[in-house]
Amino acid sequence: MQKLKNYIGGQWIEPTGCQWLDVENPSTCEIVAQVPLSSARELDQAVEAARQAFPGWAATPADRRVEPLFKLAHLMRENMEKLSRTITTEMGKSLPDARAEMKRALENVEAACGMPILQQGDKLVAASGGIDGEVLRLPIGVFGMIPPFNFPAMVPFWFLPYAVAAGNTYVIKPSEQVPCSLQAIGELVERAGFPPGVINIVNGDRNVAEAMLAHPDIAGISFVGSSRVARIVAETCARSGKRYQALGGAKNHLVVMPDAKIDEVVRNLVTSGFGCAGQRCMASSAIVCVGDRVHDEITAKFVAASREVIVANPLDPEVADEGMVMGPVISKAAKERIEGLIATGIKEGANLVLDGRGIRVPGNNRGYFIGPTVFTGVRPGMEIHATEIFGPVQVILKADTLDQAIAIINAHEYGNGASIYTQNGYWARKFKLEAEAGMIGINVGIPAPVAYLPFGGMKASMFGDIKGQGKSVADFFTHPKVVTERYWPEG
C-alpha cells in the first residue's frame, strides 16, 4: 500500500510523529493508500521553501518560467490514462469523467503557458504634460490552495499553473479524501524541472488548511469546497489582509421551457444530474419545468432514462468505457447524509418517484452506491430544494412562467450555474441577463467553462471577486503596481 509523502523544497519527505489517514476506494472500500495528517510544522517548512524560492523565480524571465509548464503539459498528456485511473480509484467517478477531468487540468496548464502575454501591463504615454503612466503586473509572493474532493486533479489547476507562471511560488494541501492524484501529478512536477520550492505539497486535513489561513507569509488563498468553509476562508483572509478567492457549494437549476427539445433535454439531464454520482459543482440538481405538459413529459421520460443508468464500480472492465456509468459517492458519511436527505424529502411531502436507496451492485457489496433518485412535487423552501445534496438526487419543481422560474433561482442561496432549454431567443436572452448564477447554460446541461474562460459562481457559491482559470485569474496572482514618471530636458 502506498504511503504518501509531502513535497517540500524539491524533496519528497515523510513526516514523522503524525497521524495517518486511510484513503479508501469508495467502490470497494479497499484501502489504497495512507495519507499523513501533517502539522503546522510541515506547513511552515513548505512556506519557508516557497518564500526562499520566490525572489529568484519572480526574477526569472517570463518565457523561462513557462518552460517547465510546457514540459508538465507533455508529461500529463503522456500519463493521462494512469492519472485518470488514479482519480477513479480514489474518487469513484467513471473513467470517461476522469479522462475529461485530466483533459481540463491539462488545458489549464496550456492556457497558463500564455502568461508572457496574459501578464503584460499597460502604458499611457502622455498621461499628463510630459508624464507617462505605466501599470506593471508583478508577482506577489507565496500563494496557497485548498481543494475539494470531487475534482482531485482539475480544480487545483484552475489556479496553480497561473500562479507559478506569473512568478509566484505555491503551497497546496490536497483534499485528504483523495490525495493520490496530486501525489502522482507532483511526481510529474518534479520531473518538469521547476526549481526547488516553487511548488510544494503538504498533505493533511483542516488543521493544515487552518494553518495556511493563519500563515503570515502566505499572500493569498484559492479555496474550493463547501460554502460553509468558503465563508470561513473569506472572513479569515479578509481579517488578515490576504487575497482570497473562495468558491463554494451549489444548487444548479435547469429550466425547461415549453418549446424545448425534450429528448435532448432528457439526455443532458441524465449526464448532468447523475454523472460523477451528482458530486459535481456544476451538476444540475433542481429541474424547473415551465407548464404542466413539460412537467409530465419530462418526469416520465427522465425517470425512464434514469432507470437505464449503469451503477457499477467504474473500474469493472465490463463497463469501464461506457459513457454513462455511475460510481459510488465518496464515503460512508456522504452516503448516510444523502440517504438522510432522501428521508427528509419524503417527510416533507415530496413524491419519491425513483428511489436509489438500497441498490445492489453485483460483486461490490461494500461500496457506497446510491442509485439515481428523483423527487417530484417539490416546492421552493423544502429542505431538499434548499440544501446542496451533492449526490445522485434530482428534485423536479413546477413553474407557470419563465418569470416564476427565474424567481425560484434568484431566491435560492446558491448561484453557481443555471441552464435554460429553449429555442426562443427572447427567453434565452432574458434568462442569461436575469438569472443570478455565475455560469449560464443555454441548451447545455453542464455549463462549465473551458480553461480559457473564468470559472466561478455568485451569491453563496463564491466569495471574492476574481474567478478561477482564464485570463482574469492573472489579476489574482499579480499586483498592478502603477508608475507615474517624468524626466526634465537636459541643460
Q: Which residue is nearest to ligand NAD (CB)?
A: 225
Q: Is the Cβ of residue 89 or residue 299 nearer to ligand NAD in the bound state? A: 89
| Shortest distance, position 272 Cβ to ligand NAD, whole Å | 14
User: Could you say which DSSP state residue 194 is in?
Assistant: P
Q: Which grid cell is 54?
A: 520566490
Q: Which grid cell is 427?
A: 427567453
| Shortest distance, position 361 Cβ to ligand NAD, whole Å | 23
What is the C-alpha to C-alpha distance for residues 158 and 241, in angstroms, rounded to an integer? 22
Q: Is the Cβ of residue 179 or residue 371 nearer to ligand NAD in the bound state? A: 179
Q: How far is CA 253 from CA 20, 306, 315, 341, in A?
A: 39, 18, 31, 18
Q: How far is CA 388 from CA 32, 203, 280, 385, 405, in A?
A: 29, 27, 11, 8, 19
Residue with cell 453542464: 446
Say which amino acid occupies 381.
G
Cβ-Cβ contacts under 8 Å for 64 (sequence gap 6 or more): none
Q: Is 281 a catalytic residue?
A: yes
Q: Is the Cβ of residue 284 or residue 422 nearer to ligand NAD in the bound state? A: 284
Residue with cell 445534496: 389
Q: Is the Cβ of residue 325 or residue 437 nearer to ligand NAD in the bound state? A: 437
Cβ-Cβ contacts under 8 Å for 252 (sequence gap 6 or more): 282, 283, 284, 285, 286, 414, 416, 417, 418, 419, 437
| Shortest distance, position 212 Cβ to ligand NAD, whole Å | 8
| Shortest distance, position 355 Cβ to ligand NAD, whole Å | 23
Instruction: State the catalytic residue, choosing from 180, 237, 276, 281.
Output: 281
Q: Is the Cβ of residue 19 or residue 424 nearer to ligand NAD in the bound state? A: 19
| Shortest distance, position 275 Cβ to ligand NAD, whole Å | 14
Q: Is the Cβ of residue 150 or residue 299 nearer to ligand NAD in the bound state? A: 150
Cβ-Cβ contacts under 8 Å for 350 (sequence gap 6 or more): 375, 376, 377, 378, 382, 384, 395
- How is the beta sheet containing 2-3 ordered, strand by strand? 2-3, 31-37, 19-24
- Secondary structure of residue 355 in the 3-state scheme: coil
Q: Is the Cβ of residue 414 or residue 431 nearer to ligand NAD in the bound state? A: 414
CA angle centred on 97, ends 100 and 438, rounded to 5°: 70
| Shortest distance, position 280 Cβ to ligand NAD, whole Å | 7
Q: How far is CA 157 from CA 4, 287, 351, 412, in A?
A: 20, 30, 40, 29
Residues at the interface with ligand NAD (CB under 6 A): 146-151, 155, 175-176, 205-206, 209-210, 224-226, 229, 232, 247-250, 281, 388, 390, 416, 457, 461
**Backbone phi, psi, residue 285, to 5°:** -135, -10
What is the C-alpha to C-alpha distance for residues 290 and 295, in angstroms, rounded to an integer? 7
What is the C-alpha to C-alpha distance for residues 212 and 182, in angstroms, rounded to an integer? 18
| Shortest distance, position 262 Cβ to ligand NAD, whole Å | 28
Which residues have a catalytic role annotated?
Answer: 281
